[in-house]
Structure 1
Amino acid sequence: MKAAVYHGPGDIRIEERPEPEIEEPTDAVVRITHTAICGSDLWFYRGEEDHEDGARVGHEPMGIVEEVGDEVRHVRPGDRVFAPFSISCGECEFCRKGLHPACVNREFLGPHGRTGAQAEKLRVPFANGTLVRVPDRYADDEDALEALLPLTDVMATGHHAAVSADVESGDTAVVIGDGAVGLCGVLAARRLGAERIIAAGHHEDRLELARKFGATEVVSARGDEAIEEIHELTYGGANHVLECVGAESALETAANVVRPGGNIGYVGVPHLESAGFVEQLFFKNASYTGGPAAVRNYAEELMEDVLQGTLDPSPIFTKTVDLDGVSEGYEAMDDREAIKVMVDLDE
């Protein structure tokens, strides 16, 4: 089968790999129909993470179950499913607490793990605890599927940022970052009832989409100028800040604009040389919570809203490629020519 493979910074190739097979009775094999390229994939694409040459890439799968192991009960061959970026058993202490990315059997998809979702097929360990079944009536509804695909990561991650920042009805929320996660953070804050949502980013087209998603104000300045502008808009800072980038500058901005006693929900994968921003949080008594989104914990409630038409993150996909075009998709995201790229294997 074909699969996207990492061969160093800027070098993603489509190569032949053995087709996956059932190895454990809890496995499922899924034929991938849709996947995506994530902003977090750009860290290794740009050489800011080290991974083994030949590692499989991609962590946002949707497809059709082809085969299941003897102990798989939640899905069967022919079901339309999607999966989070991390494997979880659904039974351990942490899964029961809704902390699926901390599962004792955790395994990340993509180069952090053993396999990748930008491929024709995928073996999914612990299928009962990992796979999310799409209701049959929507299994071939392309519009619904494109709206559900972001639930594999970025929509659930944006929601996790809003939940971690303790956003509730009537609140003012600041969203740091205008990538797919930040834009989904705007959607999540609106869904949770925020009255004001200030989106901070550097790209006018993305900030315009943020407005369409529910941002009441946008900030396009950088550095100290952005911090000053957010302070002016919020009369001294916000109690609810969503950090959706992970870069040192974004973390510093979040620490500067959160009010004393406020909450930062951080979901950007941290890439920083100094953690000096933590001192500000300490003296502000501000909460700093987040981490990898518990996608499996949020999946059903978010899917319900998508399928009833009250949540639609699909506009974050501004470019679509087939599997052979994955390298082109990485280039487009790296050059900021696309917010997020969908990979349609049925195209």
Structure 2
Amino acid sequence: MRATLYGGPGDITVGERPDPRLENPTDAIVRVTLGCVCGSDLWYYRGVNPHALGPIGHEFIGVVEQVGADVTTLRPGDLVVAPFTFCDGTCANCAAGWTGNCLNGGSFGNHGIDGGQGEYVRAPYADATLVKVPAGSYSDTTLKSLLALSDVMCTGHHAAASAGVKARDTVAVVGDGAVGLCAVIAARRLGAERIIALSRNPVRQALARAFGATDIIAERGDDATKLIMDMTGGIGVDAALECVGTGQSMATAFGIARVGAIVGAVGVPHDAVVPIQTVIFRNVGLRGGVAPARRYIPELLDDVLTGRINPGLVFDYETELDSINDAYNAMLERRATKSLVRIGA
């Protein structure tokens, strides 16, 4: 099969890998129809974070081609959403709802596991991992939103859920990438009354408003903190959603959180420091981390299928597999919020 291969920093190519086969009776083989590039893939591409050489890509939807003898909930022909991590569904962490930290799980597209930027994927623990989409004929718009459920929509939701967003809250979203934009959707979905999105990009500002942001500010750092504190009467926001992972974004999130609020942090951390003085003396909490996407997909799926949310709008650049370098570079150069890769029919 043809698949995207990571050869080291700056080295993304399309090459051949062995066709996946069933290795365990709980496996399924999925033919990938849509994949995409994640912001975290860019960290590997830049050489900032390590990634094993070989397959890459952890977000995809596709059609089941084969199932192992012990798979009971899936059949060939089923359309499925794959969370970015696979899980067994039975370990202590899965039982507690933390499927992204499965004791026997892992991430697609790393350490030799097939990636979503390729034609086929072997999905371990298929019953526990893959989410079947009800049979039907779906528009391209809906399929894109289903793809967003594999990671960014669930990760944005995790930021909002971790921060305890509730009805009538004032929420600030720090970060205007695909995850931050999905966090705007999540905050609105959970009932937030006022959503302040931090963005300097006109295209992303418009999308944030379409998703439910009531206020847009372009300031950063201390200027952003001062402005948001002024906007909230010096109190701060009820929930701060940190969707970047840098030192500045973390400082901003804690700087604008009101006393007793929680920072929901899902950005991959890079030189980020938790201000313990703020935690202790302002009673500001910190939650978040790797999203348990497999737990969230079922509750978000119905909202996608009924059109109540449309996270697929974050895909504003499209390529085919042969042009995967374009997909990476468009995001790297900030010409795209998120690149979609059409792989199969």
Report TM bin, short chain: over 0.9
How far has the Cα of 1:133 moved from its partner?
Answer: 0.4
Q: Counterpart in 2 of 1:9?
A: 9
Q: Summarize the alignment of residues 184-333 of structure 1 with structure 2, pairs less than 5 Å apart.
A: 184-236=182-234, 237-272=236-271, 275=273, 277-333=275-331
Q: Does 1:72 align with 2:77?
A: no
SS in 2 for 1:137: coil
2:50 partner amino acid? D
User: How far apart, CA to CA, are the structure 2 residues paired with 1:112 and 1:190?
Assistant: 37
2:205 partner amino acid? L
The CA deviation string for residues 50-91 of structure 1, in whole angstroms up to 9 with x for no partner, is 223x32110001101011111111111111111101011112
- Equivalent residues of 1:107, 1:113 under 8 A apart: no
Q: Counterpart in 2 of 1:39?
A: 39
SS in 1 for 2:240: strand
1:313 partner amino acid? P
User: How far apart, CA to CA, are the structure 1 residues paired with 2:112 and 2:156?
Assistant: 23
User: How far apart, CA to CA, are the structure 2 residues paired with 1:160 and 1:92?
Assistant: 21
Q: Does 1:154 align with 2:152?
A: yes
How far has the Cα of 1:225 moved from its partner?
Answer: 0.9
How far has the Cα of 1:276 moved from its partner?
Answer: 5.0
- Relative to 1, partners in 2 of residues 1:171 and 1:113: Cα closer, same or farther, differing over 3 Å? farther
User: How far apart, CA to CA, are the structure 2 residues paired with 1:219 and 1:40?
Assistant: 25
How far has the Cα of 1:305 moved from its partner?
Answer: 0.6
TM-score normalised over the length of structure 2: 0.96
Q: 1:180 aligns with which of 178, 188, 191?
A: 178
- Equivalent residues of 1:255, 1:278 under 8 A apart: no
Residue identity over aligned pairs, in percent, reads 47
Deviates more, 1:229-238 or 1:124-133: 229-238
- Relative to 1, partners in 2 of residues 1:50 and 1:80: Cα closer, same or farther, differing over 3 Å? same
User: How far apart, CA to CA, are the structure 1 residues paired with 2:148 and 2:268?
Assistant: 17
SS in 2 for 1:185: helix
The CA deviation string for residues 161-190 of structure 1, in whole angstroms up to 9 with x for no partner, is 111110011110000000000000000000
Unaligned runs of 5+ in 1: none
Q: Counterpart in 2 of 1:29?
A: 29
2:317 partner amino acid? K
Q: Summarize the alignment of residues 99-138 of structure 1 with structure 2, pairs less than 5 Å apart.
A: 99-111=98-110, 114-138=113-137
How far has the Cα of 1:241 moved from its partner?
Answer: 0.7
How far has the Cα of 1:110 moved from its partner?
Answer: 2.5
Unaligned runs of 5+ in 2: none
SS in 1 for 2:121: strand
User: How far apart, CA to CA, are the structure 2 residues paired with 1:165 and 1:323?
Assistant: 37
2:266 partner amino acid? V
How far has the Cα of 1:280 moved from its partner?
Answer: 2.2
Q: Counterpart in 2 of 1:50?
A: 50
- Equivalent residues of 2:119, 2:344 under 8 A apart: no
- Relative to 1, partners in 2 of residues 1:112 and 1:40: Cα closer, same or farther, differing over 3 Å? farther
How far has the Cα of 1:18 moved from its partner?
Answer: 0.5
1:39 partner amino acid? G
How far has the Cα of 1:113 moved from its partner?
Answer: 6.3
Deviates more, 1:122-131 or 1:219-228: 219-228
User: How far apart, CA to CA, are the structure 2 residues paired with 1:282 and 1:300?
Assistant: 36
TM-score normalised over the length of structure 1: 0.96
The CA deviation string for residues 135-160 of structure 1, in whole angstroms up to 9 with x for no partner, is 1114x532221121100000011111
- Equivalent residues of 2:175, 2:249 under 8 A apart: yes
The CA deviation string for residues 263-320 of structure 1, in whole angstroms up to 9 with x for no partner, is 1111111111x52533322322111001111111111111101111111111101011
Deviates more, 1:5-14 or 1:289-298: 5-14
How far has the Cα of 1:247 moved from its partner?
Answer: 1.5
SS in 2 for 1:311: coil
User: How far apart, CA to CA, are the structure 1 residues paired with 2:89 and 2:154?
Assistant: 17
How far has the Cα of 1:112 moved from its partner?
Answer: 5.9
How far has the Cα of 1:10 moved from its partner?
Answer: 2.0
SS in 2 for 1:40: helix
- Equivalent residues of 2:266, 2:289 under 8 A apart: yes
SS in 2 for 1:265: strand
User: How far apart, CA to CA, are the structure 2 residues paired with 1:224 and 1:243?
Assistant: 16
User: How far apart, CA to CA, are the structure 2 residues paired with 1:97 and 1:235?
Assistant: 39
